[in-house]
Amino acid sequence: MHHLLLIAHGSRRAASNEAVVALAETMAQQAGQPVRAAFLELALPSIAEGIAQCVQAGATRLDILPYFLAPGRHVQQDIPQQVAQAMQAHPQVNWRLLPHLGAAPELADFLLRHWQGANL
């Protein structure tokens, strides 16, 4: 079964983390496939725990999407390292680390449409 793990930074503010979890739930409903959220730091589940949850739920293919706008240290180093370490515990899973959200070519168009919609 194909799963998506959405990785956000994590916040000390519970409402911020809950918003990411709600986004993952909305994505799962729209996609008709399992989507979960995990956090780099400051919140649970951690990346390792999120991966384990996906595997326990039957993931045989796992795509990992960093929910970050810029390719900073977390995107370039921290997330790939944590994902690689966690996935060593689950060699039976076919996984790939997707480009971070900010790298999506559609993002500029989305932001322009959002801005234009706000100007109505």
Confidence of residue 76 (pLDDT cuts 50, 70, 90): very high
Q: Judge whether residue 120 has pLDDT over 70.
A: no
Q: Judge whether residue 119 has pLDDT over 80.
A: no
Catalytic position from the list 9, 74, 90, 114: 9
The mean per-residue pLDDT over the stretch 30-38 comes to 98
Q: Judge whether residue 51 has pLDDT over 80.
A: yes
Reply yes or no on whether 3 is catalytic: no
Instruction: Sketch out the chain's domains with CATH numbers.
Output: 2-118 (3.40.50.1400)
pLDDT (0 to 100) of residue 96:
97
Three-state secondary-structure class, residue 66: strand
Three-state secondary-structure class, residue 44: coil
Q: Judge whether residue 6 has pLDDT over 90.
A: yes
pLDDT averaged over every residue in the chain: 97
Alpha carbon separation from 12 to 44, 46, 66, 95 (Å, rounded) = 11, 14, 19, 29
pLDDT (0 to 100) of residue 30:
98
Rg (CA), the chain: 15
Cα 8 to Cα 40: distance, rounded to the nearest angstrom: 6
pLDDT (0 to 100) of residue 84:
97
CB 38 within 8 A of CB 50: yes
CA triple 40-45-50, angle to 5 deg: 90
- Give this prediction's pTM: 0.94
**Which of 54-59's residues contact partners 24+ apart within 8 Å by CB, and which partners?**
54/3, 54/5, 54/93, 55/90, 55/93, 57/1, 57/3, 58/1, 59/1, 59/2, 59/3, 59/34, 59/93
> Each residue of 96-110: pLDDT tens digit?
999 999 999 999 999
Cα 63 to Cα 98: distance, rounded to the nearest angstrom: 7
